Chains A and B, each alone.
Chain A
């Protein structure tokens, strides 16, 4: 954790204040994410075949080789035949998330809009909650939080999501990807696309498929600026001065469209899905789309 908060945390006086500040964000994010996730009704995504699991699948006549203790006596007592109760084979999928924590995400063009980072974390956590409730193992890409299952993982995820990254445009974390797992990358993808390309190629090599979710602020789509302006990145590392901002609009929009199509091409090549979300749109629909995208791929994967 290399956020300013933790650096200052070495000072005992501010440690507690920082801790409380951090902690105060956790329940809020959690609650919102739970709330969001609560709106999606899950069906168990069973494998439609007998196997390991909790849910009843079928009774089948006992065969030779079944151990005696596998016989279901309640069913068998109704007749002369002995039955074995089979449960549905339920497998857990590993889903790895990468939510961009970079400085460029901490931007909202209007006080009424959430920051991109906020929205991205909310979606990421809500999706995690949904997946965890569905029995999947959810974790982060990289080594910080490997996929696990169960409710405690929600808390761990929330904690991880609350950390800010000081770098302006952080590249996707692509280390320690579990083969044949699923991955979700949520970012504004404003930085260098090389990192994304590397990550996706690597993922494709390992049979990891997933979703690229592009979160943008409305002003980044509209570019409603005029006059002499100095544009600065949120981290302050990059700046660009123009005398007539409105002249740049068309060229900026061209570049943005180009970037989107590049991402889509990358996705097409690697079998990923590409989604676009604006922070002024409803997070509910975004969550549904995300979940559907993952679920649909899950069906294909099965």
Chain B
């Protein structure tokens, strides 16, 4: 490769062709544009006419320049230019080992690192060096293969969510000692870790070492702490430097369960500081939903801090037996529980029925004996769905018969009558202390202070199930705390009071710890390793090096002590661990951890990752030349006057169509809104679009004419009529749909039928008009009638009958007995009267059905009779002479009656009762 001015050429001799450009200029210059051949009969008149200009036409200079540029671009492109040719790096031969730290610290810059590795692979491939890979976080004996093989496998390398451990280092050093001599490229993640020097020494003993590492600072976030009602967050950076702000995002789930960012906070590193802190104040509901904190813009496991129960504040409802008693605070049965829970839980007061809708985590009943059924039932349901009921005994429970003979559903055990008291003035024996907790108990591992004594308690009846339900007992074996599992929840009974009356338990620290273990309260601080000794934690979800959580699958459980203290590794992957009800987050970056930047000896060359890769630009140049030639085509056409010919103009229009459609964004939402606004601002009559332009036009004109009549004669003042497309338009806005039937109209889609049925059920009226009353009566097999049957079959239409003479339609506004349109047929069908409608003696009309008939079916072509031109004159002739005018008038009256009926329902029918009502009032 020859390098000229920073650009390499693979075929430099081709550049000599550039010398030919001036010659080409001279040749092209003399050639005029090609002529157009035209057929033109008038040529006979042209014969003998010569051009004025005798100088031959020449190509304009700018067109020539364009062509020159295009040719130059082709020549340059074919010469194989390469940007950033790599010529300055020393190259060796022999095997090349690429060592990766492969830790989370490099995850954010992983794509850059991959690109840099690929550039090195390209180089090694050119030098035909075998390449091996070794990731220090997951050391495996490298296989030396050609660079091309590795390039295809490069995408498979992912960062590990831990730093290389001592084991990893030892194994890697061992592997390297077994290999023949090699040169090393070390892609470091720029973080110091133990044993890095060992590896470096080993590598240097095998061959030359070059180090590549990113210049970007490594950031990590420590686990969040909840103190003083705020969430405290701290972030660390490896190298101090300028002042820098990082955004910390609290991620969690919204109430609908979708992952989203719940809050953000900005932490600012002061100049030359390596840690920054920030605080986040959140409502407890929001806080409880947080699943983790991440640093914005970072994509590594270190920039993710998972959240366990530490931030979660449980909601505990406290219900005492006598909340209305104005006694001394210290005598309140809830006082000690409040004191124990207040720092770590959100307390709710109120009655059971009040607090249950808030769905608290725990309900504490202190000496509450019986509950009403209305309280007990929802309480049981709540427990079965995962609630925890904690009950404390007391004088009331001891005195009551609750759970005496049959086990109360809200009690874990049966109780003996009266309870017992030990060590009192009237009894023998000493107050009893607690027995150590058994290993099946949730309290296992808690120390029992000596000063906790019980002087009175309620006693459980011995039952077959009792032994399973005891989770704490006195030194004499008497159950002290019993528990029953109900559904997904549980009921726990402390057999002593929640006050210090019966025992000293509420006064001790053990009480708080017991509540913690029961997950009534949650720990405020991270647990100490000692606290978790002996417990086993199973991974629920684990993180990869990028900080992405995935299901843990069947990874083995981890000892509680190791979980907190051991270094992360394949056996202890960062993630969420759980043990019974408790969850613990193991994060990559611990609370007290620090980040130390890697420092390299001066004899090791350290390069950045930002290696500009070799970039062949031949493709770009060739594309440029094609573009120039296209411009040349357009320019040549323009010059010769052929660009804007008719045929080309069409082509241009076609090409412009996408841009025009881009420029006119169709806003369907706005259209629908406009339609709804226009239809609802006033009453608007509507007709169905049949697809037959003539019929639709008459329908529109008819409804417009009817609207005008209504406007002049009645208090209905309709807006202009609307044409409704059943498929797309909303029907609910219209009181009436006029539907002329044509034999060739399409059947509506099933969605349209759904809409129509909804419209009919919600009080709409459809006026079907077969428009053939002159030739066919309803039911006869006219094409329109058949079409109507076909269209109306899926509609929810009640039984019909011919319009009876006492129907309300005959008198809603005008008194009518005929309903003519353009034709005068008496066959108009409406919803049938209920079978029990009887004519009452003395009443002119039957008391017919309430509401509006959903359909009116006829064939009188009413729209034609109503139709007016824009000047108000009738559009179509009706009948002959005066009789015709009369018929049109009656048609108009029918229209008025119909709309009145639609809008007022059976109001006129009710008027029938006025005499009876007046009669009754008079008495």
Contact = CB atoms under 8 A, between A and B. Distances in A.
The majority secondary structure among interface residues of chain B is loop
Interface in A104-159: 104-105, 107, 110, 116
A104 B41 contact: yes
Interface centre among A105, A228, A230, A244 (most CB of B within 10 A): A228
B462 interface: no
Nearest to B35: A228
Contacts of A240: 43, 46-47, 49
Contacts of B408: none
Interface in A198-233: 217, 219-220, 223, 225-233
Interface in B711-753: none
Interface centre among B39, B44, B57 (most CB of A within 10 A): B44
B881 interface: no
Contact of A233 (B34, B44, B56): B44
B42 interface: yes
Given A190-B42, A232-B39, A243-B57, A227 B33 contact: yes
Contacts of A248: 46, 49, 51
Interface string B593-629: 0000000000000000000000000000000000000
Contacts of A217: 41
Contact of B39 (A105, A107, A255): A107
B45 interface: yes
A256 interface: yes
Interface in B17-68: 32-47, 49, 51-53, 56-57
Interface string A232-259: 1110001111111101100110011001
Interface residues of A, number: 38
A251 B51 CA distance: 11
A243 B37 CA distance: 12
A231 B38 contact: yes
B45 A256 contact: yes
Contacts of B43: 231-233, 238-240
A169 interface: yes
A220 to B, nearest CB: 5
Given A188-B41, A234-B41, A244-B53, A229 B47 contact: no
Contact of A232 (B37, B640, B641): B37
B642 interface: yes
Contact of A234 (B33, B39, B52, B56): B39
A191 interface: yes
A232 B45 contact: no
Contact of B34 (A219, A228, A239): A228
A227 B49 contact: no
A252 B45 contact: yes
B595 to A, nearest CB: 74
A241 B49 contact: no
B243 to A, nearest CB: 68
A219 B35 CA distance: 19
Contacts of A242: 46, 49, 51
B665 to A, nearest CB: 34
A8 to B, nearest CB: 23
A292 B660 CA distance: 52
A220 B44 CA distance: 11
Interface string A17-54: 00000000000000000000000000000000000000
Nearest to A217: B41
Nearest to A102: B41
Contacts of B646: 110
B38 A227 contact: no
Contacts of B229: none
B635 to A, nearest CB: 13
Contacts of A239: 43
B38 A244 contact: no
Contacts of A243: 32, 51, 53, 56-57
Given A190-B45, A231-B46, A226 B641 contact: yes
Given A242-B51, A243-B57, A223 B42 contact: yes
A256 B42 CA distance: 9
A181 B41 CA distance: 31
B42 A220 contact: yes
Given A242-B51, A243-B56, A190 B35 contact: no
Interface of A: 104-105, 107, 110, 116, 169, 188, 190-191, 217, 219-220, 223, 225-234, 238-245, 247-248, 251-252, 255-256, 259
Given A104-B41, A228-B640, 14 more contacts: A220-B40, A223-B42, A225-B40, A231-B39, A232-B40, A233-B39, A234-B39, A238-B47, A240-B43, A240-B46, A240-B47, A247-B51, A252-B45, A255-B46
Shortest beta-carbon contacts, A-B, top 10: A226-B641, A104-B41, A227-B641, A231-B43, A228-B35, A227-B640, A255-B45, A231-B40, A240-B46, A220-B42
11 contacts: A105-B41, A107-B40, A220-B41, A225-B38, A229-B38, A230-B35, A230-B36, A232-B39, A238-B47, A242-B46, A256-B42
